[in-house]
Amino acid sequence: MTDCSLVGRGRVVEDIRAYLDAGRSVLLVGPHGSGKTAIINVVRREGLLVVDPFAGMTTPRAAALRRALDRGALVVGAATSLDRADMGHVGRVAWRFERVYLRPLAPRAIARIIRTRLEAEAPLPLDRRWMREAVEASAGLPGRAVALASVVAAHWRERRAVLPARFALVVAWQNDLAGSFDRLNTTGLRPGESSS
């Protein structure tokens, strides 16, 4: 995966690399589907400890993380919340991380993600109204945009019919519940979950 595959997140990747080059550990904070894991995959390097998800860690794992930080290890983590109740034991070391907050992407960036994904998987005819609905349904989250485009492309290949954007998100969410969401290469669409 290259930096250009992270539409709208180039500056965030640069900031994270700068923190890591300066010897600072980084904690990415954002909702499900905001691109935390994709960004981690881009900035990953030898010797970097990755903690994804950051929350819900057991006491022994949290203690091991603290010891690694004490020894000077560089760590990159991903969390959906900085709430102490969500973070559990690992919340005690969160202060040692530079926090990078992932905001929703602009509609233009989301549209580009959807178009690019559809062009790669199954070129299909789309009108402006469908794209507007798809961008709105994605809510600024690249993971949702990828999931939506993947479901629409699969449906097009199977039936030569374009699914309504909101229905595609429902299908993606149901696939996630069935455990087949990994093949869509995203993490989003589960409202109320406590870890990324």
Which of these, 107, 136, 100, lies nearest to 19 by C-alpha position? Answer: 100
Contact 26, 73 (CB under 8 A): no
115 and 170 in a common domain: yes
With a pLDDT cut of 70, the percent of the chain lying above it is 85
pLDDT in tens, 88-114: 767 778 888 999 999 999 999 999 998
Q: How far apart (Å, rounded) are the C-alpha atoms in residues 31 and 151?
A: 21
Least confident of 47-61, 135-149, 174-188: 174-188
Cα atoms found within 13 Å of the Cα of residue 172, Cβ hemisphere only:
32
Give residues with Cβ within 8 angstroms of 147, minimum separation 6: 33, 168, 169, 172, 181, 184, 186, 188, 189
111 and 24 in a common domain: no
Dihedral of the alpha carbons of 22, 57, 40, 170, in degrees to the nearest 10: -150
Counted domains in the chain: 2
176 and 159 in a common domain: yes
129 and 170 in a common domain: yes
Q: How far apart (Å, rounded) are the C-alpha atoms in residues 105 and 115?
A: 15
List strands edge to edge, sheet with 25-29: 48-51, 74-79, 25-29, 97-101
CATH number of the domain that 85 lies in?
A: 3.40.50.300
120 and 85 in a common domain: no
67 and 9 in a common domain: yes
Q: What is the mean pLDDT of residues 79-95?
A: 78
- Mean of per-residue pLDDT scores for the chain: 80
115 and 176 in a common domain: yes
What is the residue range of 123's domain? Answer: 107-184
7 and 95 in a common domain: yes
Residue 45 covered by a domain: yes
96 and 17 in a common domain: yes
Which of these, 145, 133, 137, lies nearest to 185 by C-alpha position? Answer: 145
Least confident of 6-10, 21-25, 43-47, 190-194: 190-194
Band the pLDDT of 165: cuts 50, 70, 90.
confident
113 and 97 in a common domain: no
Contact 16, 39 (CB under 8 A): yes
Q: Dihedrals φ, ψ of 9, to 5°? A: -120, 15
Contact 55, 93 (CB under 8 A): no
- Which of 16-20, 48-52, 63-67, 169-173 has the highest mean predicted lDDT (pLDDT)? 16-20
